[in-house]
Amino acid sequence: MQGRPPDIRVNIIVGDQMDNAIKTVYETVIARDPNQPEFHQAVEEVLESLGPVISENPEYMEVVQSMVEAERVIQFRVPWYDDEGSLQVNRGYRVQFNSAIGPYKGGLRFHPSVNLSILKFLGFEQVFKNSLTGLPMGGGKGGSDFNPKGRSDSEVKRFCQSYMSELWRHIGADLDVPAGDIGVGGREIGYMFGMFRKLANEFTAGVLTGKGLSYGGSLIRPEATGYGLVYFAREMLSTKGKSFEGARVAISGSGNVAQFACEKVLDLGGKPVTMSDSGGYIYDESGIDREKLAWIMDLKNNKRGRIKEYADHFDGVDYTQSKPEPNHNELWATEVDVALPCATQNEVNEAEARMLVEGGVIAVAEGANMPCTPEAIEVFHENGILFGPGKASNAGGVATSGLEMSQNSLRMSWTREEVDQKLESIMINIHKNAFDTAEKYGMPGNYVAGANIAGFLKVAEATMAQGVL
């Protein structure tokens, strides 16, 4: 330490103290909720990035302490009757994580895997994602362990109505605005909005987003997450003088995000070669063109079929069945330039990340929430791979939800072109913010750190201004 100016020495000491303080916060999270691994993972990823910020702004340590605890967690019983007249009982949740910069905003997930750990991880991520959009939205998440797959429309309707009969007390256009997520599409949003309207005795369009166009929805909303993902990846590629033109692209999943990511890749001249579902994946060497994509959309959205049927329908397509863990997903061994994981959390592990690197991947951008494990992300960083974390790269969905809220407040509708233009502008700004912030704090090219810090700073400033409530 000899010879260092005194102010630098002080900063280093403060930084060390704050690193220890951050570690203490993380240990407290684990001690309070020992059985919530997904939430721990999300918190750890963010806290690891904040050391330089806290060293520069020690007063923000109070914000760190407060924001790892949700403002409110609501859990409730959801009873409903199936078509045979038998009573079914599910658990319903809403995690209202942070409202420092706006009303809680985040999707509803209906899936058997739903529990508090997953919803808290998603709600925590949502705080930073929403902050990055630049729109006035806080973070939240909710859902149920109900599985809509295999259920009739009548059963889904009865469940949604029962779920909303409790949730309606806790949401509002200026309080908490849910949207769709896994298992919750236009059908489910419609049933829930109808029930809310009946119970509240008012038409408040801005209480839910992802609505149908006939009752306050926005154009581009179904496409938004997939389109936004590709816009973000395009911006990442441009920093290395690359583009989607002629690029081979691996996409996992075959739901809403994957479908529209595929569509936008085609718009930009890329060649998608893979898609998947829980049963396995397809590899189409000739590329998934617009005709084939339309066939997949019909298969998944209307017929509720399996991706295996694609290989049966089109020539020259390989289908590989999924194998139980710990087998690796060979989809990621495909030689591609860009990878867009759009299926689910932790679908790309360390070994699968190395498969992508060996296959020549240039860029990886997360379409799902936290699909890459921390070990996988480390592999990408070690090998100089451009990596876009979900809180930045898949923020297009919630950004367009925010635009839907704006239209509802204005009682008007924008054209498809207007919404798409605003979405593209938001994604460009998210990329610039994450890129510039990473450089400012001495971690150039590290979008994880850049997105975490940029999202945190806005929330921290608002929290401090309001007295850390």
**Distance between CA atoms of residues 314 and 280, nearest Å:** 16
- 52 and 84 together in one domain: no
- Residue 141 annotated in active site: yes
- 28 and 107 together in one domain: no
Q: Write the CATH number for 117.
A: 3.40.50.10860
- 159 and 190 together in one domain: yes
Q: What pLDDT shows up at residue 3?
A: 38
Q: What pLDDT shows up at residue 11?
A: 36
Q: What pLDDT shows up at residue 406?
A: 96
Per the listing, tokens 């240039």 go with 362
Q: What pLDDT shows up at residue 469?
A: 85
Q: Is residue 427 part of a domain?
A: no
**Distance between CA atoms of residues 138 and 426, nearest Å:** 17
Q: Among residues 41, 68, 95, which one ends one of the domains?
A: 68
Q: Among residues 393, 426, 445, which one ends one of the domains?
A: 393
How buried is residue 324: exposed, middle or buried, by Cβ count under 10 Å (0-12/13-18/19+)?
Answer: exposed
- 382 and 257 together in one domain: yes
**Distance between CA atoms of residues 340 and 233, nearest Å:** 9
Considering the candidates 141, 157, 264, 292, report the single residue annotated as catalytic: 141
Q: What pLDDT shows up at residue 8?
A: 29
pLDDT, tens digit only, all 469 positions of the chain: 333 333 322 333 344 455 888 999 999 999 999 999 999 999 999 999 999 999 999 999 999 999 999 999 999 999 999 999 999 999 999 999 999 999 999 999 999 999 999 999 999 999 999 999 999 999 999 999 999 989 999 999 999 999 999 999 999 999 999 999 989 999 999 999 999 999 999 999 999 999 999 999 999 999 999 999 999 999 999 999 999 999 999 999 999 999 999 999 999 999 999 999 999 999 999 999 999 999 999 999 889 899 999 999 999 999 999 988 888 999 999 999 999 999 988 999 999 999 999 999 999 999 998 899 999 999 999 999 999 999 999 999 999 999 999 999 999 999 999 999 999 999 999 999 999 999 999 999 999 999 999 999 999 999 999 999 8
What's the number of domains the chain is made of?
Answer: 3
- 368 and 300 together in one domain: yes
Q: What pLDDT shows up at residue 304?
A: 85
- 272: its two tokens: 């998608």
**Distance between CA atoms of residues 18 and 57, nearest Å:** 10
- 156 and 233 together in one domain: no
Q: Does residue 102 come out as left (phi exceeding 0), alpha (psi in the -120 to 50 range) or beta? A: left
Q: Write the CATH number for 387.
A: 3.40.50.720
